[in-house]
Amino acid sequence: MVNYPHPHHLTRKKKAEQPAKKVNFANRGMSFEAAINATNNYYLAHSIAVIHKKPTPIQIVKVDYPMRSRAKIVEAYFRQPSTTDYSGVYRGHYIDFEAKETRLKTAMPMKNFHAHQIEHMAKVLEQQGICFVLLHFSSLKETYFLPAQALIDFYQIDRGTKSMPLDYIKKKGYWIEMNALPQVPYLDIIENYFLGGDYYQKDSVQKK
């Protein structure tokens, strides 16, 4: 039994309320990944958290040298499957998460998640880590924080062969209000709904 805060056990505000005006980082020439990286840089610069993107382990097979001072990797392969995209620490808590994006408007394709990633997330939860996925619907300009346990539960229904409906994500997850800085303030969700609030920007999550 994974000891992890379950959405139904938390006293919280309604999650899926949509703002009157949405901040669209894509209009600024910024990808979802770049927005997350910028957010993590903001957290680091302001001594809020230390979260980094994990390097992908590769084995270099062939390198060309078009110039003496410049090397170009022309052949390489993954040494081992990657787990999740980001990890770090916030207020003494281990943070581990994956980020996915889709242009679909009604569901997130589960083919984006692999069995070894689901297994990794389950192991993080077993060790009391805070694990989740950030899901961005680019066509809707909406972003959600989905706890890893909700992803694992859905994956186990049919081993990830079906897409995850947006309605399920809204029910089990948390809508993230995009900002100018930080662009993807996911720590607001962790602070308010998993750590009890009263620490980091507790008033920045939407109220009703």
Binding-site residue numbers for Mg(2+) are: 83, 85, 98, 117
The residue to which tokens 């390489």 are assigned: 76
Asked if 14 contacts 175 with a C-beta cutoff of 8 angstroms, the reply is no
Count how many Cα atoms sit within 13 Å of the Cα of residue 162 in the half-sphere of its side chain.
12
Give which of 193, 184, 144 is closest to 164, Cα–Cα: 144
DSSP line for 68-117: TTEEEEEEEEESS----SEEEEETTEEEEEEEEEES-SSEE-GGGS-HHH
Give which of 15, 84, 13, 5 is closest to 52, Cα–Cα: 84
